[in-house]
Amino acid sequence: MARRGSSGAMVWLRGFWARVSIVLFIGISVALLLSQGNLDDPQSFNKIRVAADDVAAPAMQAVDLPLGGLSNFGSWLSSNWNAAERVRVLEAENRALRQWESLSHALHAKILRYEQLLNMQGEPEVRVLSTRVVAEAHGPFVRSALLRIGRDDGVSEGLAVVDPSGLIGRIVSVGKHSARVLLVNDLNSRIPVVFQGASVRAILAGDNQRDPKLIYVGKGFVPKNGDRVSTSGDDGVLPSGISIGEVVEVLNPDGSVGYRVQTYANLSTMDFVQILARQPAVPPELDPISPETGDQSIAILPGAADPSTPVTGELQ
């Protein structure tokens, strides 16, 4: 017990002496600084302040090291916490996308089965041509772009141009090694569209604004914000089902309510695009009629006069 008591006393004395030494060191430093200058002289105070800064700087640096380490550790911990949160969000999105993928495969198989049962003729195959948008040249259209691809590559007028997000426009002129695409928001653009899930038709018309407008909407149908719009294929040129964008309700200058489509594709920052090369629907050929014989398919009703026999006599 005596040994333990003496050991505890020694520890206390060491701690007390350390604290007293720090106080004495500070007091002696201040006294030396004061003894070197005149209190009435401002330069003396400046010297004292500079000297005090020199003494305090190492001490402050020593104190700042652990604090800086704690601050860096806090930033690292916050960054890792945010990264973990982002990983959880991405994992949840990935699980949801996997469910949609499974559902899409099941629906695709069901549609194929229905088409086989109905002996339905499928859509013609579409050949995809990838190219890049080049600098815009002056031309008759305001909202258009030039492509590094032309007639020699199989491009023709009327083909749809898309990017990974949706429809951009259609080809309006083709050269040997270049082509011009008319964007969906150009004043001359008119595209038949359909509201997904409602089977209601409309026309998507450009007016040189950022978002094209909807005109000739099906009678009795009122679009809503967020309605998805895609090509209907009614023109026989563009394939049906190409996503274009979502409906946004706007207020016209005359106070009426209008509807525009916010395109999925960013029409102001186009780079790489794809052309959907597909043969448009061709109308059926008509049987030629000989000018000498005329149409021989007209049947003569019983009791009727033969049209080849000349008519004589008066009408009764």
- φ, ψ dihedrals at 251, nearest 5°: -105, 120
**Burial bucket for residue 129 (CB in 10 Å: 0-12, 13-18, 19+):** middle
Segments making up each domain of the chain, as ranges: 36-122, 127-277
pLDDT attached to residue 134: 84
pLDDT attached to residue 227: 94
Task: Output the CA angle 284-157-282, nearest 5 degrees.
Answer: 5
| CA separation for the pair 237, 229 (Å, rounded) | 17
DSSP 199: T
| CA separation for the pair 99, 109 (Å, rounded) | 16
Q: Which fold has domain 127-277?
A: Thrombin, subunit H (2.40.10)
The sign of the CA dihedral 166, 172, 173, 174 is positive
| More confident: 117 or 136 | 117
Whether residue 166 is predicted with pLDDT greater than 50 in this model: the reply is: yes
Q: Stretch 40-54: mean pLDDT, rounded?
A: 57
Lowest mean pLDDT of 195-199, 237-241, 245-249, 289-293, name the range: 289-293
Predicted confidence band at 262 (pLDDT cuts at 50, 70, 90)?
Answer: very high
| More confident: 243 or 38 | 243
| CA separation for the pair 235, 156 (Å, rounded) | 16
Q: Express each pLDDT in 89-113 by its tens digit.
A: 899 999 999 999 999 999 989 888 8
Whether residue 214 is predicted with pLDDT greater than 50 in this model: the reply is: yes
Both tokens assigned to 88:
């959880």
Whether residue 218 is predicted with pLDDT greater than 50 in this model: the reply is: yes
pLDDT attached to residue 16: 60
